[in-house]
Amino acid sequence: MIQYNFETDFELQDSGMLTDWISMVVNEESFTLGDVNYIFCDDDYLHKINVEFLNHDTLTDIISFDYSLGKTIHGDIYISVERVHDNAKDFNVPFEEELHRVMVHGILHYCGYKDKTDEDARTMRQKENHYLKMLG
């Protein structure tokens, strides 16, 4: 089950469609959907988590905590709406597209994809693009 939580005044559009899309991504990657919580917040909220749990004193757009068991995906995905908005401007893409990219990025991490090396980051970007096309 996917749940959406809001620690800021942001409202998610088309949550049902996004739930169906994320479920499809999980299935296509040969995983089973367990409990995934998306928590939409602001920069301050996510920065505090980044410092407290990851010892990183930086702003970021997403932090995901993976509680998956075997092939069943469980986790908490924190997304800074402020950071996504700024990144969308920087990359010259619509806010919704960047938001969807970040949402699927967290799920792809749970499916085993990494992004620390250039090669891994390219593979991650290809997967993101593949699934964004499916969203329409």
Q: Name the token pair of 39.
A: 């928590």
Residue whose C-alpha is closest to residue 22's, from 123, 125, 111: 111
Residue whose C-alpha is closest to residue 129's, from 12, 17, 25: 25
- To the question of whether residue 57 is assigned a binding role by annotation, the answer is no
- To the question of whether residue 115 is assigned a binding role by annotation, the answer is yes
- To the question of whether residue 100 is assigned a binding role by annotation, the answer is no
> DSSP label at 67?
-
Per the annotation, binding residues for Zn(2+) are 105, 109, 115
Per the annotation, binding residues are 105, 109, 115
